[in-house]
Amino acid sequence: MKKTFLVLISLIILIVLFFVIFYFKDNSAVAKINNFQDCADNGFPIMESYPRQCRTPDGRNFVEEIGNVTSKEDLIVVETPTPNSVVTSPLTVKGKARGFWFFEASFPVRVKNDKGEILGTGIAQAEGEWMTENFVPFTTTINFNAGAATNGVLVLEKDNPSGLPEYDDKLEIPVKF
pTM (predicted TM-score): 0.77
CATH of 69-176, one of 1.10.3470, 2.60.40, 1.10.10, 3.30.950: 2.60.40
Task: Residue 155: name the closest of 98, 86, 83, 88 by CA.
Answer: 83
User: Is the four-CA dihedral 101, 107, 108, 109 of positive or negative sign?
Assistant: positive
Task: Residue 28: name the closest of 56, 70, 67 by CA.
Answer: 56
What is the end-to-end Cα distance of the chain in Å, rounded? 67
Q: Are 173 and 165 in contact (CB under 8 A)?
A: no
The domain ranges of the chain are 2-63, 69-176
- Tens digit of each residue's pLDDT (9 = 90 or more) over 35-84: 999 999 999 999 999 999 999 999 999 999 999 999 999 999 999 999 99
